[in-house]
Chain A
Amino acid sequence: MSDLNDLVEQHIPRLRRYARALTGDRAAADDLVQDTLERALSRFHLWRRGSDLRAWLFTIMHNIFVNQARSRMRYPHEPLDEPAAAGLQYREPDWSELRDIGAALARLPAEQRTVVLLVGLEQFTYEEAARVLEVPIGTVMSRLSRGRERMRALLGGDFRSAALKVVK
């Protein structure tokens, strides 16, 4: 039991890094990590010993993230309990600062953001990212390509496509 906790614990910093980049919000990210840990520990019997624990944990996190995004769309004004709301500090993206990588990430569709982050930040191989996201590898490659190109436009690397968005 305790070795399982140790195994899971060593992945917490990277789960937090990914969740922070994915949500852009410290409290939301840690909520996501907490949900992931709880689900992982309650379903630990489903993990095949010897298989990649990190990939398994990221898969769980991805599923929770997708489900939460879905339910947020259905219930856009989710009430927060008092202490949680008090601790929340929204980082409102500043659209005038498009060179900021966080702001650019926030403007990517979630399906592109996950691929850009799994590959670029978490150093997953394309095959691993495909398994975590449960999509074919071709889908990973096309989302990566579109995500990176959109980031480049947002960050000002491509003035022509960025200009289109600024022109009144």
Chain B
Amino acid sequence: MSRHVVTEADLHAYVDGVLPLARVAEIEAYLAERPEEAARLAAYREQRAALRREFDPVLDEPPPLRLRVPRPYWLRPLARYAAMVAWFALGGVIGWQLHAYTAEQRAEANSWPRRAAIAHVVYSPEVRHPVEVGADQEAHLVTWLSKRLGAPLKVPHLGDLGYSLVGGRLLPGDRGPVAQFMYQDGKGQRLTLYVRVNADDSRETAFRFAQENRVGVFYWLDRKLGYALSGEVERGELLRIATAVYRQLNP
């Protein structure tokens, strides 16, 4: 019987089922004459089977939350439902605005600090994922958010007041993307600075204060950008920090 040389690679290909069919019979004949080799390959086959038995159950485990691939928020089922509700609400709002057109501007002015407070409440308790980009990549964070908002942003440093930067994230605002920077003090107390692009870039306002449940918000407009600093801290302290933020942004 004429034969090719049987190599070690051929034997593994036989074990792995990737040997061309024409050669399988040849290997089987080769093994029939060599029981030790046949036993060795049987052991390799058993290894393959044992690996599958041991680790295939991992395939059926639901991946932990942190391994879900992040997707745009409007594709998430809950957000989709929320969007539907929002469309109904919007219909109502449009109808109402036909009557109360003049009230619109004031309502808008009052609603964005509220959005800042809500964003604070949603993200500041996060333990594992408080921010999308951490303070260790501050340069990237600033470049990215500036690009998305279409305005050059600056991140205030509040180390002198005991707050260090945790990082930041991009959020949907009422008229487009907004940025949220998060700070934390040594006790884990968190503040967020919400930055949006103003529709009218000629306005500057004084500090205004709003309270949404336990969250205090100081907010102001500074030409192109609007800022809202939120935190569950005493009003005097929040004002002190807001002042420091303002000074750093307007040196």
Q: What separation, in Å, do the CA atoms of A34 and B72 have in the docked complex?
A: 18
Q: Does B22 contact A (CB under 8 A)?
A: no
Given contacts A41-B69, A141-B8, contact A13 B58 (CB under 8 A): yes
Q: Looking at the complex, which of B43-51, B87-95, B113-121, B226-234 is the stretch in contact with chain A?
A: B43-51
Q: Does A28 contact B (CB under 8 A)?
A: no
Nearest A residue to B54, CB-CB: A101
CB-defined contacts of A13 to chain B, threshold 8 Å: 58-61, 63
CB-defined contacts of A69 to chain B, threshold 8 Å: none
Given contacts A17-B59, A121-B52, contact A2 B47 (CB under 8 A): no
Interface string of A1-33 (1 = CB under 8 A from B): 110010011001110110011000000001001
Tally of A interface residues using CB under 8 Å: 38
Name B20-58 residues within 8 Å CB distance of A: 39-40, 43-44, 47-48, 50-56, 58
Q: Are the C-beta atoms of A5 and B71 separated by less than 8 Å?
A: yes
Q: Are the C-beta atoms of A21 and B51 separated by less than 8 Å?
A: yes
Q: Are the C-beta atoms of B51 and A120 separated by less than 8 Å?
A: yes
Nearest B residue to A19, CB-CB: B58
Q: What separation, in Å, do the CA atoms of A158 and B44 have in the docked complex?
A: 12
Nearest A residue to B70, CB-CB: A5
Q: What separation, in Å, do the CA atoms of A144 and B8 have in the docked complex?
A: 10
The 7 A-B pairs with the shortest beta carbon distances in the complex, nearest first, are A157-B43, A17-B58, A101-B50, A5-B69, A13-B59, A120-B48, A121-B51
Given contacts A5-B70, A14-B59, contact A145 B47 (CB under 8 A): no
Interface string of A93-104 (1 = CB under 8 A from B): 000000001100
Q: Are the C-beta atoms of B67 and A33 separated by less than 8 Å?
A: yes
Q: Does A119 contact B (CB under 8 A)?
A: yes
Query: What residues make up the interface of A, taking CB atoms closer than 8 Å to B?
Result: 1-2, 5, 8-9, 12-14, 16-17, 20-21, 30, 33-34, 37, 41, 83, 101-102, 105, 116-117, 119-121, 125-126, 141, 144-145, 148-149, 151-152, 155, 157-158
Q: What separation, in Å, do the CA atoms of A120 and B12 have in the docked complex?
A: 10
CB-defined contacts of B128 to chain A, threshold 8 Å: 83
Given contacts A17-B55, A83-B127, contact A145 B66 (CB under 8 A): no
CB-defined contacts of B72 to chain A, threshold 8 Å: 1-2
Q: Does B64 contact A (CB under 8 A)?
A: yes
